[in-house]
Chains A and B, each alone.
Chain A
Amino acid sequence: EVQLVESGGGLVQPGGSLRLSCAASGFTFSNYWMTWVRQAPGKGLEWVANIKQDGSEKYYVDSVKGRFTISRDNAKNSLYLQMNSLRAEDTAVYFCARLHYDSSGRPGFDIWGQGTMVTVSS
């Protein structure tokens, strides 16, 4: 079964750090771009970061640049998000997702994890 499972969320104080993990199974992880998307409580979706198959390219939304780092370990079929200098506005459910291109090169996040909650509060 194709699956993504996130872990590592929790309660952290403002200014603190947290590392999220996403374990992939059921597909060849190293063949895909991967992404993190977040959703604040009661709000919409926000793309956070992407990473290329070999980790050589990474892209971030401006609001997390310099604070968050996306990485991956293809040998462990795992995706990570290191979050530093956390702020209250980073409070959200964080989803990892697989970026899939169809036969015509059109992208889409076709596999999602169940999400992990990050709460930044004192």
Chain B
Amino acid sequence: EIVLTQSPGTLSLSPGERATLSCRASQSVSSSYLGWYQQKPGQAPRLLTHGASTRATGIPDRFSGSGSGTDFTLTISRLEPEDFAVYYCQQYGGSPWTFGQGTKVEIK
């Protein structure tokens, strides 16, 4: 099983600041098979990226993903109030498909 470890667990930032979220895999994952989701309290997750770096439909360009192999990053260039949420990475490259434990982006 591929284990995804996200860091930090919590990120305390102010609106307008830049957020950098990390996702590290226990073994190499194709960048095509690593995606990111956003989840707000009481809501279903929302797809942010197809693959490590391709934004899903309707996702603003302040969200960008990058990475390869075992190290992946989601960057939010300037935090908007609606971006404070929990973010999960997910890998589809190995069975079972697995999620990271999440990074909470909270208002400082």
Q: What's the nearest-Cβ distance from chain A to residue B49, in Å?
A: 7
Whether A113 contacts B100 in the complex (CB less than 8 A), given A44-B88, A104-B32, A107-B33, comes out as: no
Q: Which residues of B contact A44 (CB under 8 A)?
A: 88, 99-102
User: For chain A residues 83-118, which have a beta carbon within 8 Å of chain B?
Assistant: 95, 97, 100-102, 104-110, 112-115
Whether A47 contacts B97 in the complex (CB less than 8 A), given A106-B32, A106-B33, A107-B50, comes out as: yes
Size band of the interface chain A makes with B:
20 to 34
Q: Is B96's CB within 8 Å of the partner chain A?
A: yes
Name the segment of B18-26, B51-59, B71-79 touching the other chain. B51-59
Q: Which residues of A contact B50 (CB under 8 A)?
A: 100-102, 104, 106-108
Whether A108 contacts B99 in the complex (CB less than 8 A), given A45-B88, A113-B44, comes out as: no
Q: Is A61's CB within 8 Å of the partner chain B?
A: yes
CA distance A13 to B97 in the complex (A): 28
Q: Which residues of B contact A102 (CB under 8 A)?
A: 50-51, 54, 56
B35 in contact with A108 (CB, 8 Å): yes
User: For chain B residues 12-70, which have a beta carbon within 8 Å of chain A?
Assistant: 32-33, 35, 37, 39, 43-47, 49-51, 54, 56-57
Size band of the interface chain B makes with A:
20 to 34
Report which residue of A60, A95, A101, A110 has the largest number of chain B beta carbons within 10 angstroms of its beta carbon. A110
CA distance A90 to B59 in the complex (A): 32
Q: Which residues of B contact A60 (CB under 8 A)?
A: 96
Q: Is A46's CB within 8 Å of the partner chain B?
A: yes
CA distance A108 to B56 in the complex (A): 9
Q: Is A62's CB within 8 Å of the partner chain B?
A: yes
Report which residue of A37, A46, A104, A106 has the largest number of chain B beta carbons within 10 angstroms of its beta carbon. A106
Contact sample, A vs B, 28 pairs, CB 8 Å cutoff: A37-B45, A45-B39, A45-B45, A45-B88, A45-B90, A45-B99, A45-B102, A47-B90, A47-B96, A59-B96, A61-B96, A62-B96, A95-B44, A97-B44, A100-B50, A102-B51, A104-B32, A106-B32, A106-B33, A106-B50, A106-B51, A107-B35, A108-B50, A109-B37, A109-B45, A109-B47, A112-B44, A114-B44
